[in-house]
Each structure stands twice: as C-alpha cells, then as structure tokens.
Structure 1
Amino acid sequence: MTDLTSYQAQHFLWKVEGKLGFITLNRPEKKNPLTFESYAELRDLFRALVYDKTVKVIVVSGAGGNFCSGGDVHEIIGPLTKLDMPGLIEFTRMTGDLVKAMRACPQPIVAAVEGICAGAGAIIAMASDLRYASEESKTAFLFTRVGLAGADMGACAILPRIIGQGRASELLYTGRSMAAKEGFDWGFYNSLTAAGGALEKASSVAADLAAGPTFAHAMTKKMLHQEWAMGVDEAIEAEAQAQAICMKTQDFHRAYHAFVAKQKPVFEGN
C-alpha cells in the first residue's frame, strides 16, 4: 500500500481528490456495517497514511444516507459467539487497533455523519478529530444492548473527554440514541447541517485544513493525544518543544513573509 492515490480498497470505497482522502463505508443495503475484513483494512489504511505525503486530511462517511450501523450481526456477532477466548481477544485487540491507527495517523480525520451512527460506527466518529452531522442523525454506543460492556475500542477513555463523564456514562450504560441536537449541544458534533449536507460540510472543512500548515496540524493532533496522560507542567514543556520544531518549518517562514508583504500565506506543508 505504497501509492495511496491509486490504492483500490476491497471492503469500502477510497479515493483521493487533490489533498483529500475520502473513505466511504459502502454497504448501504445494511446501513454500512463493518466486517472482520473491513475493520482490518481500515486499520491498515490508517497505518499506511502515516507514510503518505499526498493526502493531508481524511473524510470518513457512509453511503446511502447512513454512516455505519456497527458490526454486522451475521458476519461478526454470530461468529463471535463461537470463538474461544484467544480468538475473542484477538478480535477485540484488532478493533482497538483501528482506533489506535486513527489516533496515530498524522492527518486530521473529519467524520461526516448522516442517519444511523451506531456501535463501532459511533466509535469511528468518536475517534475522528472533527465531526459534522445532519440534523436527522442518531448516534448510539449500543454495546450494552447486545450484552457487552460500554468499554469498547477506547470509549470509556475517549468519550468522557469529548462530552464529559456523566453524559458519557449515561450513553455507555444505557446504549440509547443521542439525537443530533443533543450531540451538538454536548460538544460531540462540531456543527449540524440539513439532511444530506454533512459530507459537503465535512469536505469544506477538510479542504480548509488541507490548505493550512499540515505539518503543524499533525503536531497539534499528536499533542492533543499525548497530553491526555500529562500533567500541566509536562504538557507546557511538551508544547514548548513542539512549537519550537514548528518554527523551523518553511510554512512558518512563509507566513511571516506573507504577513510582511500583506498577503495571504500559501502553505505547502513543510
């Protein structure tokens, strides 16, 4: 997977347009559920994006008016009931590796959520950097509804940091759907659109990010992730080092010279 511009995904749609990479979950007849194979391929794609210099921002969406209904009942949940413990832990670690790959991927990930966003689909939205949803969307961390813990793929660590401990606890215990307006009010979604408008909004934001200082964006993403486990003093020192590194980039110099010339800087990501 060295040339991601021409990469042909097997279990979802992938295309590169300019500086943007688009992932489309594409099983609309079932509301885009995930399979063992699509989990693994998504993980591998995000891992490969670490080494890609063309794609600056990733947009994730679903086909047919829905984002993702979670793990396929017949292709994942049914087979899981027959696995032994080593097989089960292999699966749960693999799904967690998808979230790890998304967080380690230097490109900002923008989720465009329409319709149903449930289970592992809600996790993919949660693990993205920015989330835009239509007013009709419904998001559910529904693991308890299939007899599992709400502690899945990092939900107990990441979701409280986005919407707060109490709100996350309610969603993870009950498995109920979070309405789009509720998700926006709680900070899960960055903004809402009319039905059918989430992808256009997410793509517009992604294009703006891709036109910015992408090395610096990658640094911001890394620090947002790493500082979860830091004290304030350690975080301030880490940011001092990160910012000093960014000051050695050409984009920093381009911005200065553009300001002096009263022009808008044109960033190139180096």
Structure 2
Amino acid sequence: MPHSHLRQLPLGARLALVLLNLVLAIGFAASLQHLKWHHENRDERPGLTLDDIRGAYHGIQTTSPIKSALERNHPDTLSPTNRKALLDWLSSPRIAEDYDSLDKGDAAPAEIIRANCLSCHGRAAKATPQGEIAKTIPLDYWDDVKPLAFSRKVEPNSVKVLAASTHTHALSLGTLTIVVCGLLCLTALPRRIVGAICFFASLGLLADFAGWWIARDYDAATYAIVIGGGVYNALMVLSLVVISVDCVWRKSNPKSAT
C-alpha cells in the first residue's frame, strides 16, 4: 500500500481539506440541479431527457406522433376525409384551439378521435384485448392528446453562447480537476487505481466539452456529452470521498524494522 502524504499534514489542514471537499461536493450537486433546471422542457416534456440535451447542443425537429401514425395509414379504417382533416389540424398553428371546436361539429378533431380511435386508445378499452394500448397511449382527453399532437423544433444554443460557456467551464473545471487529481495522488490509494481515476475523469471531461461542439453537426456526439459528463462527475465525487477518508483515517504505527 502506498504511503499517504495527506496523513502527515497537521490536523487542522486535514480537516480543512475535508470541509473544502464537502463544499466541492455541494457544488457538484448544485451544478447537476442547475443542469436539470436549465435544460429540462426544451422538448416540451416534463423532466430532463436526452432530447433536452440534444436540443441544447444539436437541435431537434420531430414530427407529432399522431401525425406520424396517420401518415403510416393508421388506423386503416379511418376515412380519407377524416384523415385529411386530422392532418390539416396537426399542420395548423391552432392545434389547441381547434381540438374540440364547436364550429367544426362532427369534423372537430376531438370528435374524429372519439369516433375512430377510442375503441383501442380509450380508457374504457382497458378491459378488452386492446387494453394494453389504452394503458400506454390513451386519447380520451386533450391532456392525453396534447403531448402527441405537436411537432417540435428546438434550436441549439448559439455559437457565441457555446463559446462563452466553454471559456468559463473549461478553465474552471480543468483547474479543479488538476487540484483534485493532485490531492488524490497524495493518498494511500494504489497507484494504478489513482492513475485510472485521473485518466478516465480527464477523458470524460474532454469528451463532454468536445461533444458540445461536435454535436452541432453530428447528433451522435450528444452521447459523448452525457456519458463523458456522467463519468467525470462520478469520478470527481469518488475522488473527493477518497481524499476525505484518507485525511481522517487514523495514522498507522508501523513496527520498527528489526
């Protein structure tokens, strides 16, 4: 087991490192919460999703699930007139306003859906063989239809915003990583493990930042942002725990050599 240099520090210095590590851990937790608040709902869906990250760095443009189903000729029993009416509705800027429009009467989207879709997608259909569909994709009410009715287009962050964010975070997180890895090297943790943690944390941080820029042109780079950022944060928190434990661990009293 390698010798711990941190345990040779005065008690006050070691306790100070523990307290500062706690501050950094709080900072990591706050940054994750800020990430959630900053990016969630970009895709107009609750919670932080991969599409939120994709929207921020690459942009997303998706077709309404209901529109996609209609264009695939689903349901095949729907008349051409009603299918066209629904497609025109989903392509209009008045999706919410015209959903149950009284002026349209039986041609209102709500009425067409009620007459042609609820046999499988209605809550009352749960007791039928088609009940599994109703459990996952009910279409009884506007609150059910709304998440499936809108096509989405989310523009990525501008290059100026991305450059400013990179400037701020690359310098601060790069410096923080050097300090944490340096302290980790002073612990009694085996050298191979220390090397692996430092390497993969640095690789994760680089993948995260590189992904920000590459994802503007290549959607797949979004995974580098998520995986790289996740690996980096996890290994940094692990390093803070190891450093703190090493600081407060009782000093060993090796026997004198004979």
Instruction: Classify the TM-score, shorter chain.
Output: under 0.3
The higher relative CO (CA closer than 8 Å, separation ≥ 6) is in 2
- Larger Rg: 1 or 2? 2
Give the structure-2-normalised TM-score: 0.21
Q: Point out the structure with the larger helix share.
A: 2
Q: Point out the structure with the larger strand share.
A: 1
